[in-house]
Amino acid sequence: MSRSVLVTGGNRGIGLAIARAFADAGDKVAITYRSGEPPEGFLAVKCDITDPEQVEQAYKEIEEQHGAVEVLIANAGITKDQLLMRMSEEDFTSVIDTNLTGTFRVVKRANRGMLRAKKGRVVLVSSVVGLLGSPGQANYAASKAALVGFARSLARELGSRNITFNVVAPGFVDTDMTKALSDEQRAGILAGVPLGRYAQPEEIAATVRFLASDDASYITGAVIPVDGGLGMGH
Task: Point out which residues bind ligand NDP (CB under 6 A).
Answer: 8-9, 11-15, 32-35, 47-50, 75-78, 98, 102, 125, 127, 170, 172-173, 175-178
Phi-psi category of residue 136: left, alpha or beta, with phi > 0 → left and psi -120 to 50 → alpha: left
Q: Which amino acid is at 8?
A: T
* Nearest residue (CB) to ligand NDP, 1 versus 180: 180
- Closest contact distance (angstroms) between CB of 72 and ligand NDP is 14
* Nearest residue (CB) to ligand NDP, 2 versus 88: 88
Residue of 59, 140, 198, 218 with catalytic role = 140
Question: Measuring CA to CA, which residue among 110, 134, 136 is closest to residue 123?
Answer: 110
- Closest contact distance (angstroms) between CB of 212 and ligand NDP is 16
- Whole-angstrom distance, CA of residue 6 vs CA of residue 204: 16
- Closest contact distance (angstroms) between CB of 39 and ligand NDP is 10
- Closest contact distance (angstroms) between CB of 23 and ligand NDP is 16
Q: Is 220 helix (H, G, I), strand (E, B) or coil?
A: coil
* Nearest residue (CB) to ligand NDP, 4 versus 98: 98
Q: Is 198 a catalytic residue?
A: no
Q: Is 45 helix (H, G, I), strand (E, B) or coil?
A: strand
Find the radius of gyration of the CA atoms of the chain. 17
* Nearest residue (CB) to ligand NDP, 111 versus 139: 139
Question: Are 228 and 170 contacting, i.e. CB atoms less than 8 angstroms apart?
Answer: no
Active site residues: 140
